[in-house]
Amino acid sequence: MKKINRIWSVALATLLVAVMLVGCAPATPATPTTPTTPTTTTAIKIGLSLATLQEERWVRDLDRITQECKDRGIELFSQVANMDAAKQQQQCESMLSQGINVLIIAAHDATAAAAIVEKAKAAGVPVISYDRLIMGVDDPNMIYISFDNVAVGGLQGKYITEKVPKGNYVIMSGAPTDNNAKLFKQGAMNFIQPLIDKGDIKVVVDQAVVDWKPDNAMKIMEQALTKASNDVQAVLAPNDGTAGGAIQALAAQGLAGKVPITGQDAELAAAQRIVQGLQSMTVFKDTRDLGTAAVEAALILATGKIPTNANQVVNNDKVDVKSILLVPVAVDKANIDKILIDSGYLLKADVYKGS
């Protein structure tokens, strides 16, 4: 009997010690709250459809989005349509069939891409209209992420009219299939048109550059120089690629560096031309910020919510589309080091190579 009591006493003592140890143990940490934008997920699949890699900036977009997805553990499916609207639709349909949660589209043809959005909508997949607004479609789950593209054109128009308030102008706009081209021109003409109306500016040629191709821009510039007998004082080029094409035509007539010309995208070749005095300016749209914003928005859309920073709207000829619009910056020789080099976007050795 004493032996049994001794066993129970030991058991009771052991139990009391265990209870005391549990009582003294640190509390289990609380589960951290989920941030507004998840930083990593292995469940999300994002489809990325780019119209082209013709321009350096689109390569940068692809690299940024790819890296962002890798860092966050997102599975990325990416396709490039090579400026073929039908091919882009086929590629997007293929990605939808692979179970993507969000589709990011930089559309080649802003109107034709509406069919892609409709198919994504039917599949319950939200769409990010990336940099180029998709037109004529109503999808409450579609958001538009870009820069303020009227402001982009405004920076070009303001710059060129301050440089050349009077004279003969060549006005080029971007691809007719790209709604951004219309917005860029709208912004630029806000500054140019009043001087046309006043009689200070005469337009020699006003023409769109099909597919944004530099070769097409060069031909337009050649025709304009022939028409005006080389009497051209300013060129509105919608991006750096078209500026490069126009500068080739100017160089053939000994006019490169003598005729102010605009640009856009802050490509390395354009930055080199700026420090060499061949191109007057470019508009910097930081693709690092744009790519990051797209991936963050995709993560939120994948949860069935709309990003809270999609607090602006842009009309796509059918509805006002919830939009995230970033701020562009004009760059010329005076601020190129500060804006493009100090920010790490371009390397000084590359920019000044051969200067």
| 150-285+330-351 and 45-141+287-326 share a CATH fold | yes
User: Alpha-carbon torsion 308, 309, 314, 317, what sign?
Assistant: negative
User: What is the pTM (predicted TM-score) of this model?
Assistant: 0.84
**For residue 90, what pLDDT is reported?**
98
User: Alpha-carbon torsion 76, 345, 175, 189, what sign?
Assistant: positive
**For residue 253, what pLDDT is reported?**
98
* DSSP category for residue 352: T
Within 79-129, residue ranges assigned H as helices are 85-97, 114-122
Residues of the chain short of pLDDT 50, as ranges, are 1-41
Q: Is residue 293 a contact partner of residue 144, using CB atoms and an 8 Å limit? A: no
What is 45-141+287-326's CATH topology?
Rossmann fold (3.40.50)
Q: Name the residue ranges covered by the structural domains of the chain.
A: 45-141+287-326, 150-285+330-351
Complete DSSP assignment for 135-198: PS---TT-EEEEE-HHHHHHHHHHHHHHH-SSEEEEEEE--TT-HHHHHHHHHHHHHHHHHHHH
**For residue 21, what pLDDT is reported?**
36
**For residue 354, what pLDDT is reported?**
80
Please provide the size of the chain in residues: 355
For the segment 230-244, what is each residue's pLDDT rounded down to a tens digit? 999 999 999 999 999
Locus of tokens 């129970």 = 8
What is 150-285+330-351's CATH topology?
Rossmann fold (3.40.50)
